[in-house]
Amino acid sequence: MPCPKNVNIPEIFAIMNYHRVYQITEFAKKSCAEIGKVPWRNYENAAACVNRGACEKKCPQSLPIREQLKETHRVLAS
């Protein structure tokens, strides 16, 4: 962060955790659908990622951010 495409990585990962950790998948899907459409989710969803990896170069945990964003989109935006 900040992502040049306004993808809010921590927020999207938090939404993914609703599914992955807490298993409240419908809530996670609803939250994902709100991205860019409601004032409290005023950012882009994972589909806006241009896949250049600027975030991964900055990540102190060396997370595979791009792959995790794609997975989030695959699981929650379909």
Instruction: Note the residues at the interface with ligand SF4 (CB under 6 A).
Output: 3-5, 7, 9, 49-55, 65-66, 69
Indicate the residue type of 61.
Q
Q: Between 27 and 58, whose beta carbon lies closer to ligand SF4? A: 58
Please report where in the chains the tokens 């998948």 appear, as a residue. 25
Asked if 46 contacts 70 with a C-beta cutoff of 8 angstroms, the reply is: yes
What's the rounded Cα separation, in Å, for the pair 22 and 59?
25
> Nearest distance from residue 78's CB to ligand SF4, in Å?
19
Cα maximum dimension of the chain: 32
> Nearest distance from residue 56's CB to ligand SF4, in Å?
7
Q: Between 28 and 65, whose beta carbon lies closer to ligand SF4? A: 65
